[in-house]
Structure 1
Amino acid sequence: MISREQILEVLEKYDKDKITVGVIGSHSALDIADGAKEEGLPSLVVAQKGRHLTYAKYFKLRKTRDGLVKGFIDEVIVLDKFAQIVDIQEELRKRNVIFVPNRSFVVYTGIDKVENEFLVPMFGTRSLLRTEERSEEKSYYWLLEKAGLPYPEEVRPEEIDEVGLVIVKLPHAKKRLERGFFTAASYKEFKEKSEKLMKLGVITKEDLEKARIERYIIGPVFNFDFFYSPIDEEIELLGIDWRFETSLDGHVRLPAAQQLTLPEWQFEPEYTVCGHASSTLRESLLEKVFKMAEKYVEATKKYYPPGIIGPFTLQTAVDKDLNFYIYDVAPRTGGGTNIHMAMGHPYGNSLWRKPMSTGRRVALEIKRAIELDELDKIVT
């Protein structure tokens, strides 16, 4: 693991008046770049050839013929593959980049390289990124248990008949960034579905053996987009989002009778995230949510010092008795924060009395750290 001391040595050589916000061109990059622009900081997006036009053309900063300013991304570096970002880290350091990690960065670069080779100051907590890997001994489930937070209990295949409906979590066989999730209400159904999905090439036997099987919480889902400020030592709820998933959302819009007529290759829905929507929460439940966030932050300080820095998302499901269960944790910018872009969200906006997206909040914390000479508090 690259030590914080090594990162602070790099930071010492930076021109603090020319800090640039860097991000990989995927996931939540638009939100991060837009937020940097709102706070007057330059942005640099590292994109992959074939997926670069969103950043290098459509949202790139430029002027119209009559002098109007359009777009917000200042600079783009296009690589053949995202993983080559490790090869340009010296260039990033020369440009005084503080890098904002997202899930795509970790997946495409590889967690080992992120931890041991990417010697660029990172906004957030580098050591916490590995907790997203469900196969790790100290995954976010381990941390949730240490924090005393509620999460769906793990179930062995032979226990499904006793527990009832479960969800099986494993990666998609071909689209590795996506999910090969499926549900089962009995051991028999688990065996039948897994065999069918393996036959269809959706999952592999190797991934199934390492899959996380847990009780399915029947209820709505809420992704709580939080921000922890090491400068203020406070937790902020910036927004709430929920997901659109293919082909699950298409399935649930069909009448049950129609679902039963689908051919085998369409019968089992997939859980590929393709978009997000904004949401709010009943006010009487907000205190519960903040308490969960407080417990998570304290646990990260204890087990992953210095603890969480900046944005994190608690992904939850709520049962019929209004109990929350955390089924996923993002110890970095959440996947749904583009809904905050430019206009923020009711919670963050009302707190700051102005549009406050997650991207803008990241940029604001960087600016404050520069002004207070406390950059060491926000990077690892």
Structure 2
Amino acid sequence: MIERKQILEVLEGYEKDKIKVGVIGSHSALDIADGAKAEGFKTIVVAQRGRHRTYAEYFKEKKTRDGLTKGFIDDVIVLEKFGQIIEVQEELRKRNVIFVPNRSFVVYTGIDRVENEFLVPLFGSRNLLRSEERSEEKSYYWLLEKAGLPYPEPVKPEEIDEVGLVIVKLPHAKKRLERGFFTAASYREFREKSERLMKLGVITEEDLAKARIERYIIGPVFNFDFFYSPLDEEIELLGIDWRFETSLDGHVRLPASQQLTLPEWQFEPEYTVTGHASSTLRESLLEKVFDMAEKYVEATKRYYPPGIIGPFTLQTAVDKDLNFYIYDVAPRTGGGTNIHMAMGHPYGNALWRKEMSTGRRVALEIKRAIELDELEKVVT
């Protein structure tokens, strides 16, 4: 693990009035770049060829013929593969970049290289990024247990008949960033679906052996987009979102009778996230949500010092008795924050009395840390 003192040494060589905000061109990059621009920072996106035009053309800052400015991305570094970002880290340091990690950055670069080779100041908690890997001993499930937070209990395959409906969590065989999730209400169904999905090339036997099987919580899902400020030592709820997933959302729009007639290759829905929508929560439930966030933050401070820095998302399901269960944790900016770029999150706007998206909140914290001469508190 790159030590924090090494990062602080890099920061010592930065021109503080020329700091730029950098991000890998995927996931929530538009939100991060838009928010940085709103707070007066120059932006740099590291993109992969074949996926670079979104950033290098369509949202690139430019002047119109009549002198108007549109776009918000200043510079784009185009690589053949995202993983080559390690090779341009010296260039990022020369440009005084503070880098904002997202899930794509970790997956495409590799968690080992992020921890040990990427010697660029990260806004956020470098050591917490590994907790998102379900196969790790000290994953977010371990952290949730230490914090005394509710999550769907793990289930062994032979216990499914006793427990009832479960969800099996494992990566997609071909699209590694995506999910090969499936549900089962009995051990027999688990075996039948497993064999069918392996035959179709959706999952592998190796991944299935390491899969997380847990009780399926029947109820709506809410992703709570939080922010923890080390400068103020306060938790902020910025917004709430939920996901559009293919082909799951297409399946649930079909009558049950039609679902049962689908051919084998269409029968099992996949859970590939393709977009997000905004949401709010009944106010009588908000205190429960803040309680969960407080426990999570305290646990990160205790077990992953210095603890969470900046944005994090608690992904939850709510059962019929209004009990929350955390089924996933993003210890960095969440995937659904683009829904509020430029407009801000509803709760963040109300709190700050202006448009406050996650991207803008990240940039505001960096800006305040520079002004307060406390950058060391927000980077790792």
TM-score band by shorter chain is over 0.9
* Residue type at the aligned position of 1:310: G
Counterpart of 1:11? 11
Q: Secondary structure at the match of 2:92?
A: helix
The question of 1:364 aligning with 2:375 is answered no
Question: What residue is the counterpart of 2:155 in the other structure?
Answer: 155
* Structure 2 partner of 1:345: 345
SS in 1 for 2:168: strand
Give the Cα separation in 2 of the matches to 1:369 and 1:74. 22
Does the aligned pair in 1 maintain the 2:345–2:358 contact within 8 Å? no
Q: In the alignment, is residue 66 of structure 1 matched against residue 76 of structure 2?
A: no
Task: Give the counterpart letter for 2:241 in structure 1.
Answer: D
Name 2:327's counterpart in structure 1. Answer: 327
List alignment gaps of at least 5 residues for structure 2: none
Taking the aligned partners of 1:96 and 1:71, their CA distance within structure 2 comes to: 22
Q: Distance in 2 between matches of 1:300 and 1:42?
A: 31
Deviations 1:97-142 (A, max 9, x none): 0000000000000000000000000000000000010000000000
Measured against aligned partners, the alpha-carbon deviations of 1:341-373 in whole angstroms (never above 9, x if no partner) come to 000121000000000000000000000000000
Tell me the amino acid that sits aligned with residue 329 of structure 1.
Answer: V
Number of matched residues? 380
Quote how far apart the aligned CAs of 1:204 are.
0.1
Is the counterpart of residue 198 in structure 1 residue 229 in structure 2?
no
Distance 1:101 1:346 in 2: 23
SS in 2 for 1:176: coil
The equivalent of 1:269 in structure 2 is 269
Contact map agreement 2:143 2:299 (CA 8 A) in 1:
yes
C-alpha offsets along residues 69-124 of structure 1, whole Å, 9 cap, x if unaligned?
Answer: 11010110000000000000000000000000000000000000000000000000
Aligned to 2:129: 129
**AA in 1 matched with 2:193:** K
Distance 1:215 1:43 in 2: 42
Q: Which residue does the alignment assign to 1:101?
A: 101
CA distance in 2, matches of 1:20, 1:70: 19
Amino acid in the other structure paired with 1:293: A
Task: Tell me the alpha carbon deviations over residues 284-334 of structure 1, each in whole angstroms, 9 at most, x when there is no partner.
Answer: 000000000000000000000000000000000000000000000000000
Residue 244 of structure 1: how far off its partner (Å): 0.1
Partner of 1:335, secondary structure, is coil
Q: C-alpha distance in 2, partners of 1:304/1:346? A: 30
* Matching residue's letter, 1:19: I
Question: Which residue is 1:216 aligned to?
Answer: 216
Alignment RMSD: 0.3
Q: Any unmatched runs of 5+ in structure 1?
A: none
Runs (4+) off by over 4 Å: none
What secondary structure, in the 3-state scheme, does the structure 2 residue paired with 1:298 have? helix
1:230 paired with 2:243, answer no
Structure 2 counterpart of 1:303: 303
* Equivalent position of 1:378 in the other structure: 378
TM-score by length of structure 1 reads 1.00
Matched letter for residue 269 of structure 2: P
% identity of equivalent residues: 89
Q: Which residue of 2 aligns with 1:280?
A: 280
Match of 1:120 in 2: 120
- SS for the counterpart of 1:23 is strand
Instruction: Report the TM-score when normalising by structure 2.
Output: 1.00
2:142 — aligned with what? Answer: 142
Q: Residues of 1 paired with 2:3 and 2:117: CA distance?
A: 11
Answer yes or no: is 1:185 the counterpart of 2:185.
Answer: yes
Cα displacement string for residues 185-213 of structure 1 (whole angstroms, at most 9, x for unaligned residues): 00000000000000000000000000000
Q: CA deviation at 1:22?
A: 0.3
Separation in structure 1 between the aligned mates of residue 301 and residue 310 of structure 2, nearest angstrom: 13
AA in 2 matched with 1:196: R
- Match for 1:109: what amino acid? T
